[in-house]
């Protein structure tokens, strides 16, 4: 199968869909950075202020296509109200990876381990853009080849925690991953890895997007992981359910 012809790996079509969303919403698609032969983009609503609001990012790993598909599908369904949602959206941070079904970018780099650096154009552009904000919620959409169901990471900070309710909202679409350990970390509850940030670990492996946001720019930070061996439509639906819930909670705080 030519992945570029599949809807979830067609970056050109993905951006066309986002431009259509932007026209309906009355908000522009902004240039973020050049990534190899591709341009990357972001959207920012007029409702976004220096504090509060929602950060949503996806497509940093190109072999995890359900996130980009879920985010644009959710946006298409909510285009008329998108401008009223205080949000900063990154539709796809690794277009080369999406097109080629690769975790890494065109230079063989895992962008999600490089947020301690300033010499990678896409990462540096994201870091520069977020400096002016403190988000209520940051949401990173990922997938896991080894996943046995949906699970998520929640960094420990604000109470009450949200992970339990978010995983429950996604459960009708994908069962919860019941492993006791995920990525060598003990789960707090089925499908939930709620972690304190231990800096030494990230000095060893590199800084993910979620950790950078947690440290400097976000009150609540979540990484959602769907199992990439499940049906695409299931994975998309689960991501969309969590996006919708986070949007609802952010709007309730406005």
Q: Is the dihedral of CA 112, 162, 66, 248 positive or negative?
A: negative
Give the model's pLDDT for residue 6.
60
By percentage, how much of the chain surpasses pLDDT 70? 98
Q: What is the pLDDT of residues 171-209, one digit of tens each?
A: 999 999 999 999 888 999 999 999 888 777 777 788 999
pLDDT at 7: 80
Amino acid 3: pLDDT: 42
pLDDT at 201 (0 to 100): 76
Residue 119 has pLDDT above 90, yes or no: yes
Confidence grade of residue 80 (pLDDT, cut at 50, 70, 90): very high
| Cβ(89)–Cβ(43) below 8 Å | yes
pLDDT confidence of 4, banded at 50, 70, 90? very low
Residue 5 pLDDT > 70:
no
What's the mean per-residue pLDDT of the chain?
A: 94
pLDDT at 253: 84
Is residue 151 within 8 A of residue 193, CB to CB? The reply is yes
145 against 200, higher pLDDT: 145
**pLDDT value for 22:** 98
State the pLDDT at residue 1. Answer: 37
> Which alpha helices (DSSP H) does the chain contain, by range?
11-25, 66-77, 79-82, 95-100, 121-130, 163-170, 199-205, 209-216, 232-253
Among 57-61, 226-230, 250-254, which stretch is predicted with the lowest mean pLDDT?
A: 250-254
Interval 44-62 mean pLDDT: 97
pLDDT at 10 over 70: yes
CA distance 223 to 87: 17
Q: Is the pLDDT of residue 211 over 50?
A: yes
pLDDT of residue 107: 97
pLDDT attached to residue 2: 41
Among residues 137, 101, 149, the alpha carbon closest in space to that of 210 is found at: 137
89, pLDDT greater than 50 = yes
- pLDDT in the model for residue 115: 96
């Amino acid at each position: 199968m030519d992945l570029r012809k599949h809807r979830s790996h067609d970056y050109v079509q993905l951006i066309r869909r986002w431009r259509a969303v932007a026209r309906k919403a009355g908000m522009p698609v902004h240039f973020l950075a050049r990534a190899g032969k591709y341009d990357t983009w972001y959207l920012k609503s007029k409702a976004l202020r220096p504090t509060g609001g929602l950060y949503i990012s996806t497509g940093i790993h190109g072999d995890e296509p359900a996130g980009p598909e879920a985010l644009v599908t959710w946006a298409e369904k909510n285009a008329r109200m998108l401008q009223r949602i205080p949000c900063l959206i990154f539709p796809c941070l690794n277009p080369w990876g999406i097109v080629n079904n690769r975790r890494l970018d065109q230079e063989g780099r895992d962008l999600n381990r490089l947020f301690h650096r300033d010499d990678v154009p896409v990462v540096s552009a994201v870091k520069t853009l977020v400096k002016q904000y403190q988000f209520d919620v940051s949401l990173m959409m990922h997938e896991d080849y080894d996943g046995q169901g949906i699970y998520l990471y929640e960094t420990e900070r604000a109470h009450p925690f949200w992970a339990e309710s978010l995983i429950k909202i996604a459960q009708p679409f994908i069962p919860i991953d019941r492993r006791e350990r995920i990525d060598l970390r003990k789960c707090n509850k089925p499908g939930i890895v709620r972690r304190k940030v231990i800096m030494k670990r990230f000095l060893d492996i590199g800084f993910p997007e979620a950790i950078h946001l947690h440290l400097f720019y976000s009150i609540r930070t979540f990484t959602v992981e769907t199992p990439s061996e499940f049906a695409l439509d299931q994975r998309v639906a689960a991501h969309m359910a969590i996006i919708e819930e986070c949007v609802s909670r952010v709007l309730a705080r406005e």
